Amino acid sequence: MTRKPNALIWLWLSAAVVALDQLSKWWAVHALSPALPHPVIPGVLNWTLTFNRGAAFSFLAGSAGWQRWFFVALALLISAVLVAWLARTPRRDWRTGMPLALIVGGAIGNLIDRLHAARVTDFIQVYFRQWSYPVFNLADSGITVGAVLLIVFGMFAGKPTGSVR
């Protein structure tokens, strides 16, 4: 039985997302003061150090602490499922491999924070006038970009050949 090359090679991208995420969070914690905006592009982008015990948009942040282990388990489960998906994906299918690897890298980046400090470090604040998007980090960006690419590539995937009209 010959094994076809799979898309696990894309885990290099997951490792790069984790490394960049953790390095950027280390920088943010050591260079920024909590909740104090540091303008990068005035009117659009600040570095603003915050900590989130919940998930996206501070979901469950005010809970009694059980959410930490819930999100740890969820990240482990999702990462395992996506790695299994990569193992079953042909290596040449970059439209699946790349987005899955970005999501895995993001999930593991935030998982490390939860295991180490029981909270996720965020520092990227995008805003315009009175509107401000919730502060996020590079791991969140990996998850979001990966999910969007997975949807977009899925929507515009080529039609199967030999299909009946």
In order of 41, 103, 131, 162, the CA distances from 52 in angstroms are 24, 19, 20, 50
User: Which residue numbers are catalytic?
Assistant: 122, 140
Query: In this structure, what token pair is assigned to residue 53?
Result: 């015990």
Element (H, E) at 59: none
**3 close to 88: Cβ distance less than 8 angstroms:** no
- With H, G, I as helix, E, B as strand and everything else as coil, classify residue 127: strand
Closest CA to 10 of 108, 86, 78: 86
